[in-house]
Amino acid sequence: MCNIKDKVAIIGMGCTKFGELWDKSVDDLIIDATFEACEDAGVELKDIQAAWLGTVFSGHTALSLSSPLKLKYIPVTRVENMCATGTEALRGAVYAVASGACEIALAVGVEKLKDTGWTGVQPTNVLGRSTMGTSGIEVSLSPPAMFSTLALGYFKKYKIDLEEGKILLAKIAVKNHHNGSMNPKAHFQNEITVEQVLRSPIVAWPLSLLDCCGVSDGAAAAIVTRADLAKNFREDPIYIKSIAICVGPYLDLLTQGYDFAHVEENVRAAEIAYRESGIENPLKELSLAEVHDCFTIHEMVIYEDLGWSPRGMAKEDIEAGTFTLKGELPVNTDGGLKCFGHPLGASGLRMQYEIYKQLQGKAGIRQVKNPRLGLIHNLGGAVWGGIACICITGNERG
């Protein structure tokens, strides 16, 4: 059976503090995240047999990884898949180990956005067309503007008036800041209130500044090995249950009818991931999740896309506190993109770092009770044609 479930385990992870790291270079971030992962796994650089670097803007080739780490004559690959880049790097390492091509592989995700001097990140070249030549007619849309179309579509479809909708979104921001306030690695570690979110300036109507994630620098790394070898390295390895990357044909801007109230790639990625990991009732079976809360409206839509809230009912779950730290399915327990910012290449692995620590019972005051299975989710590209990825991990080998 074609299935990655329980074939590979994560034996070590590292994650830098995220933030405006003026005194750190890309190389510093790579080195700091990798060494934390190596120490955690009890391996040395020379033990790594293959490596993957995930970065969107902060490096171009495998040399961006091999040179700072002084990796010696091993296969190294740089991958890029927009916001799914970090998980794409992990997928490369996991599949390599599962194939038997190597036993110990490294995945590193890094991004340094704060050296550009820009506000926000670069407008997305959504179709990922070559930047070497363009006819220059592509619509330039900032990420918040792109996700604001989801808010407009969702509120319209489910007849939520603007004021009520903005409060619901604000509650998501407040929840994630609450979690982030307990995390020393987060960029923002402050609690915020619904009123503060509502008062913050509009960035892309109806999204306000505090509906948006920050712009940060950061890196995270994972070391993986075959599941049957994992216990040689540590008592509590974390097993890969599924890695789904799901990319659409850009249907929704080519044809009429898209409701702008869901993301099809999210839905499909979840179906694939639940099938691969054997999950039937995600809300019950998952212990916690880290999802792509680049903008609060996306987290709201994810609750439904990933099958946790029935369609149009995310509102009820937000109000019931279903996704708070003490709720039925805690979401973004580390503070999410909202508090970590979104250094694109690093985010997927940063989310995995939180799940990894939670599943090992090492999340400190944010610790979720008796976790078994955790999920991470990213969406790259556009809401109308995206790259969705989901990775599910567990602390028991099935």
Partner 1 sequence: MVGITSYGIYVPPYRLSRNEIARAWNIKSLGGERSVARYDEDSLTMAVDAAFDCINNCTEKVDGLFFASTTSPYREKQTAAIISSVLDLPRETRTADFTDSLRSATIALNSAVDAIKNGTAQNIVVVASDCRIGAVKSQSEQLFGDGSVALAIGKNNVIATIEGSYSTFSEILDSWRIEKNSFVQSWEERFVFTEGCVRTIELLISKIMERYKLNLTELTKIIFYGPDNKSHAQLSKRLGFELQSQIQETKFELFGNMGTAALPLMLVAFLEEAHPNNRILVANYGDGGDALILKTTEQINRFQKKRNINSFLMRKKYISYERYLTWRELVPLEEPRRPESKPPSVSCIWRDRKSIFALYGNRCKQCGTIHYPPQRICVTCQSKDKFEDYKLSDKKGKISNYAIDYLTSEREVPAIIGVVDFEEGGRIMCEITECEPSEIKVDMPVEMCFRKLGDKGGIYNYFWKARPLFL
Binding segment toward partner 1, per CB under 8 A, in 1-9, 39-47, 196-204, 238-246: 196-204
> Which residue number, 153 or 335, has a Cβ lying nearer to partner 1?
153
Q: Which of residues 270-309 bind partner 1 (CB under 8 A)?
A: none
Assess contact for 308 and 158: CB atoms under 8 A. no
Selected from 249, 280, 365, 370, the binder of partner 1 by CB under 8 A is 249
Selected from 256, 326, 365, 369, the binder of partner 1 by CB under 8 A is 256
HSE-up (13 A, CA, CB side) for residue 25: 7
**CB contact burial 41-68 (16+ within 10 A = b; e otherwise):** bebeeeebbbbbbbbbbbbeebebbbeb
Answer yes or no whether residue 134 interacts with partner 1 by CB under 8 A.
yes
Assess contact for 39 and 31: CB atoms under 8 A. no
Q: How far apart are CA 18 and CA 44, in angstroms?
A: 24
Selected from 99, 135, 184, 370, the binder of partner 1 by CB under 8 A is 135
Answer yes or no whether residue 139 interacts with partner 1 by CB under 8 A.
yes
For tokens 């249907």, the residue is 251
Binding segment toward partner 1, per CB under 8 A, in 134-142, 288-296, 300-308, 344-352: 134-142
Told to judge if 83 belongs to the known catalytic residues of this protein, a careful annotator would answer yes
Assess contact for 354 and 392: CB atoms under 8 A. no
Q: How far apart are CA 52 and CA 65, in angstroms?
A: 8
Selected from 146, 244, 269, 291, the binder of partner 1 by CB under 8 A is 146
Q: Which residues touch 215 (CB under 8 Å, ≥6 apart)?
A: 113, 114, 120, 121, 341, 342
Selected from 254, 275, 310, 319, the binder of partner 1 by CB under 8 A is 254
Tally the residues of the chain.
398
Answer yes or no whether residue 100 interacts with partner 1 by CB under 8 A.
no
> Which residue number, 258 or 356, has a Cβ lying nearer to partner 1?
258
**DSSP assigned state of 360:** T
> Which residue number, 139 or 365, has a Cβ lying nearer to partner 1?
139
Assess contact for 226 and 49: CB atoms under 8 A. no
Binding segment toward partner 1, per CB under 8 A, in 4-12, 101-109, 139-147, 224-232: 139-147
Told to judge if 262 belongs to the known catalytic residues of this protein, a careful annotator would answer no
With CB under 8 A, what is the number of residues at the site for partner 1? 38
CA distances from 188 to 23, 125, 143, 280 (A): 18, 28, 20, 35
Instruction: Catalytic residue, from 292, 298, 342, 377: name it.
Output: 342
| Chain contacts with partner 1 (rule: CB under 8 A) | 116-120, 122-123, 131-137, 139-142, 144-146, 148-149, 152-153, 156, 202-205, 249-251, 253-256, 260
Catalytic machinery residues: 83, 342
